[in-house]
Amino acid sequence: MFEKLKLRGKLIKAFRTAEIYQVIKRGDRTSYQFPKIHQIDHQNAYTRYAFSLLNGIDPDLLTKKRWALRQVLGSNIEVNGNLKNFSITVHHKSLPKMLNYSYQTIHPHIEKMELPVCIGQDIYGNPVSWDFADLETLLISGEIGAGKSSLMRVILTTWVK
């Protein structure tokens, strides 16, 4: 019970920091109306907030002020939704810095693909893969040290197996 109240307060603090609210002035008093929070789902791996924006609040603020939301809620956030109804998922763990490649682990995930390439893992440890047969072209670009050569090694290693 109290945990959800704390999480609700944290989301309202994030809205306040990101200036996602409506200002209402009555005489010399100023009050703020924040988005309506519908549900808070708190799990071991994530916390998901479901809310709707009030009429008149620009939905693009969630994208523009993402940095402010991350300052309050944490760096591993995912914002989904459009126009009025949104959800923010806060993942409690980060992606690992180093992944161990194990063909036996990814094989069940890619066995039905024509030209499979496993490119990594999602935040829950599930393999992320592409079927290159579905792609017409591919451009790999990035700064020095971004992992272009490592990605090419993964592509070739997957195809050799």
Q: What is the CATH number of the domain that holds 13?
A: 3.90.1070
C-alpha count within 13 angstroms, C-beta hemisphere, residue 105: 12
What local confidence, expressed as pLDDT, does residue 154 receive? 77
* Main-chain phi, psi angles of 69, to 5 degrees: -65, -40
> Which amino acid appears at position 33 of this protein?
Q
What secondary structure letter does DSSP report for 148? H
* CA separation for the pair 53, 58 (Å, rounded): 8
- Record the tokens describing residue 36, joined without a space: 């309506």
Q: How many domains does the chain have?
A: 2
Residue 160 pLDDT greater than 80, yes or no = no
- CB-based contact 15:34 (threshold 8 Å): yes
3-state secondary structure of 70: helix
Specify whether 75 is located in the same domain as 108: no
Residue 143 pLDDT greater than 70, yes or no = yes
For range 133-138, the mean pLDDT: 83
What local confidence, expressed as pLDDT, does residue 81 receive? 93
Q: Is residue 14 part of a domain?
A: yes
- Among 64-68, 122-126, 152-156, top mean pLDDT goes to 64-68
Specify whether 10 is located in the same domain as 30: yes
Q: What are the pLDDT digits (tens) for 47-102?
A: 999 999 999 999 999 999 999 999 999 989 999 998 899 999 999 887 777 777 77
What pTM was estimated for this model as a whole?
A: 0.69
pLDDT band at 1 (very low <50, low <70, confident <90, very high): low
pLDDT band at 7 (very low <50, low <70, confident <90, very high): very high
Encode 89-120 in three state secondary structure: EEECCCCCCCCCCCHHHHHHHHCCCCCEEEEE
Print the domain residue range for 137.
103-160
Q: Is residue 65 part of a domain?
A: yes
The torsion region of residue 126 among left (phi > 0), alpha (psi -120 to 50) and beta comes to beta
